[in-house]
Structure 1
Amino acid sequence: MGLDNEAQANKGIPSKGFRYNSPVVQVILIGLVCFCCPGMFNALQGMGGGGQVNAQAVNNANTALYTTFAVFGILGGGIYNILGTRLTLLIGCSTYVLFTGSLLYYNHNQHQLFAIIAGAVLGIGAGLLWAGQGAIMTSYPTEDKKGRYISLFWSIFNLGGVVGGFIPFISNYHRTAGSVNDGTYIGFMCFMGFGALLTLTLLPAHKVVRNDGTRVSIMKYSNPTTELLEILKLFLDWKMLLLFPASWASNFFYTYQFNHVNGKLFTLRTKGLNNVFYWAAQMLGSVGIGYILDNGSQSRKKRGYMGVAVVALIGTAIWGGGFANELKYNGKNPNLDFKNSGASYAGPLVLYFSYGLLDAIFQNLVYWMIGALGDDPQTLSRYSGFYKGVQSAGAAVAWQVDAHKTSPVAELVINWCLTTISYPLLLVLVALAVHDKPSPVGNFEGDMGDEDESVKR
């Protein structure tokens, strides 16, 4: 060990360079876990109807999924505080494999019951996974790096959707109609199984050390009674009430985008290719909004205002373009193909790409807001769980709205209104709850590429 590293060690400051217990490594690991599990799940969902010709069974399975997700999303933070990082995430990820297996079964037997039960089980697991993920992503970074950490996670996570989009594209390249083949589901299950095993590589929060030598948290596992009381308090917390409309809207639009845009306008193989662009747009959007929300030349409150304004302007433009597209096709199924449709394919592809961009900047903004409301993993796991729970309740309603044959134009207008309502409430949240809080040791997150300021001291 060199003199500089030895001096750091004597002061209790970790040496520079790669450290397995650094916040950035742990955020990358949880990103890879989500790459394999919800990332692949998103790619499958993006096919429209889970890759099935008749979306009814998958709509019902998704309703069961998001109903239990709504409950366990809210309870997930408390469960995470009791079970700890690895066990919570291992249980959560295992349920993704079961759900995809149920669609493989449905491909042969056309029986809904297994898919619906597997969807309900996945909702439980997803609630656990996302509560743990939210705690890691929002509590490990310092205040000035939260936007960057969130965009780092979001990029890795959505790379799963990009890679996952190639699975149905390649395996169904010579098919232009029908359900996806068995190999598509088996490929997704392999990735998801690996993601479940990858959760075992994550460290407990109290073992994660920042570059200044401080630990992220001294985790004291809670008990069920305490957690239940703390969760119930969230429904009376004015900050969570202001966040409620954005949480409700943040997955509501998936049903419309997947079933009525990608699911209805394109051929089977083109749907998979479109998902590559949709999830790539998520990566670009997360980097862009992360830059705005971490702009060090502005106060945190100003960054919050700027973030809401940017998302509102972009969102309004994209929903307006979507409305024009709906009026053009008016519920028709033109079966656009990336090879055969020429210029007719370009416009709807750009629209679908833009929807992915909007999803990323909208959700990254909400996560940044949550991260600005606290610092410790226990509190932020509850906040993240509340967000995912409300988000999933909205999604459950959205899948049933579609199952009841609501017109595509009506679904678009509902989504446009929901996201628009959330913007002024987010501005109020920034005004009342987001404050500048200087770090006691300055900028010490050298593992994100900055020079280690703590060594200079």
Structure 2
Amino acid sequence: MAEARKRPTTAATESPAHPVEIKEVEIPPGWKYKSFKLGPITIPWYASPESQLILVSFVCFLCPGMFNALNGLGGAGQVSSNASLSAASNSALYATFAVVGFFAGTVTNTLGIRVALSFGGLGYCVYVGAFLCYNHTQNFGYIVFAGFLLGCCAGILWCAQGAIMMSYPPERLKGRYISWFWIIFNLGAVIGSLAELGLNINKSTNDTVSNATYIGFLVLTFFGACLSWTLVDAKHIVRRDGSKVILMKHPTWKTEILGLWETLRNDSYIILLFPMFFASNWFYTYQFNDVNLVRFNTRTRALNNILYWLAQMIGALTFGFALDTSSIRRTTRALVAWVIMLVLTFAIWGVGYAFQRKYTRKDTAPKDHFVYDWNSNGYIGPMFLYVFYGFYDAAWQTCVYWFMGAITNNSRKLANFAGFYKGIQSGGAAIIWRLDGLNSPPPYMNLFASCWALLAGSLVIALPVMILKIKDTVPVEEDLKFTDETIEEFIGHRIIHDSSIQ
């Protein structure tokens, strides 16, 4: 039998005042734990948090990434007169997602990461296929059904992804892991948008995207679902310091449902983050349907889409690495991030207010209403506004994930946090998509004002969590509230808490 190998590792504390220690840790035997060099770069072993995060990122690159590229055009690629199609489908999607999201932590912990992600990916294939089908059959019912099914699937996928992203990394690297994921994930939307632009570059009018666009997305989302099976179970993950991810052993449906309730009862402060969760997807409908779709022609919408998701990558990179600045205490970083988000909320959305004052639904009702082309005079200003909308979205999502990950390292609790996040987020999205798809929808300005007010108000409500619940490190005793099951899980395992290696 192969023996576990030992390797030296650097153990630095959170505070730069502490000396750096060199420790020897045991790494299990087997191909999953063998790293190798590629020139000057050391590739981490397969069952490391880094490798698994990259795989999960590419699953989301191919599934939600393509979904974002398609919806970023507004109307899921349909003309503005058919925007009610995507509104109806997405309303069903997010309404279902909101319900499934609350129990997604239970499902993910029970089924396991690979099954959850693969099941989630298949829903994106059906969603894209429904719009391809509509181009030929005009089957509205199938569009709504596809949204409903994707709501079930996406709730599970995003919960599994959130649990990995928040619980796999050590404390000092959580912001970077979030940014790495967000960059790769949004690269999918960028590449999808580039494909849209290439296939529709000659469409200077406001037309539906080509069938080839939908077919390409259908193939890519299917590959994403298949890629999920290359992941390893969380129990096999070993960090560089030799520590393992905190897990429950073989949970039952009963214990997991009780755990969901216990999270709300024992960690009731999470309710203060619920408004941030609710606001985090509310603005997509306004940006995609009420700005990009109605104010730009097909090829310019595709260009805007590319720039929007590129800005998301930059925002994730900027905030992810800034949130992990080890020379600044984590409690300080949390408060600084909160202040910066408040400033960005008033700066970017203040410019958005000035732009929104220039048009109404009545102005965009005629089929021949004025839309910007990238050659139009005055296009540059709205383009930069749309870019900053993308940057802001990545900053918001990165901060929310980092805030949750800074509260605890327990993967069971974080899976429930992620389920709450995606469920409440989707509840908000279901409402706003439905409002925008009504026969007599609210004025654009009303929807804009709701976005701005929700974002600013939710930041104020979340401030006590930043002040009272985020600590410089989370003691392992606080994460492990031992029950009979957890004791059995950890007998025979040496658990090295992150704070001992920072």
Output the TM-score relative to the length of structure 2. 0.84
Higher helix share: 1
Matched residue, 1:346: 380
Show CA shifts across 1:193-215 (max 9, x none).
Answer: 11111101111111111111122
Shift of 1:225: 1.5
- 1:183 equivalenced with 2:197 (yes/no): no
* Greater radius of gyration (CA): 2
Matched residue, 1:212: 241
Letter in 2 for 1:341: S
2:360/2:443 contact within 8 Å kept: no
- 1:382 equivalenced with 2:416 (yes/no): yes
Letter in 2 for 1:422: S
Matched residue, 2:367: none
CA distance in 1, matches of 2:85, 2:187: 27
CA distance in 2, matches of 1:440, 1:361: 26
- 1:149 equivalenced with 2:185 (yes/no): no
Partner-residue secondary structure (3-state), 1:90: helix
Shift of 1:329: 3.1
Matched residue, 2:78: 52
Matched residue, 1:197: 226
Matched residue, 1:449: none
CA distance in 2, matches of 1:68, 1:235: 21
Shift of 1:69: 0.3
Q: Which of 238, 241, 251 is the equivalent residue of 2:268?
A: 238
CA distance in 1, matches of 2:182, 2:232: 20
Letter in 1 for 2:160: G
Shift of 1:8: 4.8
Letter in 2 for 1:40: M
Output the TM-score relative to the length of structure 1. 0.92
Shift of 1:436: 1.2
Matched residue, 1:165: 193
How many residues matched?
A: 437
Matched residue, 2:471: 435
2:247/2:410 contact within 8 Å kept: no
CA distance in 1, matches of 2:214, 2:464: 44
CA RMSD of aligned residues (A): 1.7
CA distance in 1, matches of 2:8, 2:336: 38
Q: 5+ residue gaps in structure 1?
A: 444-457
Percent identical among aligned pairs is 43
Matched residue, 1:451: none
CA distance in 2, matches of 1:239, 1:6: 41
Higher mean C-alpha deviation, range 62-71 or range 234-243: 234-243
- 1:426 equivalenced with 2:462 (yes/no): yes
Letter in 2 for 1:437: T
Q: Matches of residues 24-39 of structure 1 in structure 2 within 5 Å?
A: 24-39=50-65
1:205/1:219 contact within 8 Å kept: no
Higher mean C-alpha deviation, range 410-419 or range 369-378: 369-378
CA distance in 1, matches of 2:239, 2:185: 23
Show CA shifts across 1:271-302 (max 9, x none).
Answer: 11111100000000011111221111111111
Shift of 1:409: 0.7
Q: Matches of residues 53-452 of structure 1 in structure 2 within 5 Å?
A: 53=79, 54-175=82-203, 176-236=205-265, 237-331=267-361, 332-333=363-364, 334-338=370-374, 340-342=375-377, 344-404=378-438, 405-437=441-473, 439-443=498-502
CA distance in 1, matches of 2:339, 2:310: 23
CA distance in 1, matches of 2:128, 2:357: 34
Show CA shifts across 1:416-448 (max 9, x none).
Answer: 0000011122221111110111734324xxxxx
Show CA shifts across 1:43-91 (max 9, x none).
Answer: 1001111111211121111111001100111111110000001111110
CA distance in 1, matches of 2:393, 2:499: 34
Shift of 1:234: 4.3
CA distance in 1, matches of 2:358, 2:91: 30
Show CA shifts across 1:24-53 (max 9, x none).
Answer: 111111111100000110010011111112
